[in-house]
Structure 1
């Protein structure tokens, strides 16, 4: 009996990758549909945004719109390496 099971399993080597691909696909669909239903945070007024803002110096230099507004109303508190600045709001 065991030889029949082993023979069947050895002939179905494609089954495990197929199951893994199906599960990953299901997870991707769940993540995309869940993310589409979440409220974006870009509608928060700048004065209600608090915490740390981590921005590369090149992005801060070319920032426009909302990001520029957040950087302008924050104070730099530290640097990471030579090209990333941490701002506190």
Structure 2
């Protein structure tokens, strides 16, 4: 680490001044490290959340009752009573 100044105060304690530029560099490096860690954690968590949503929606779709998609037609008979005919496509 670069040291800008070393000085002694009135009580005889020694202090090291690293300078504002060095401290700003440490702060920026710290912020970039935190951002990188957040990305490393958030990408797998997003993937797991997406898989969870897929499983939930898949379960919800399976709960929907199956509907008969055949076409139903009512055809009159010779005796006059209607009869339902199911035509599958």
Q: Higher relative contact order at CA 8 Å, sep ≥6: structure 1 or structure 2?
A: 1
User: TM-score, normalised on structure 2?
Assistant: 0.41
Q: Which has the higher helix share?
A: 1
User: TM-score, normalised on structure 1?
Assistant: 0.41
Larger Rg: 2
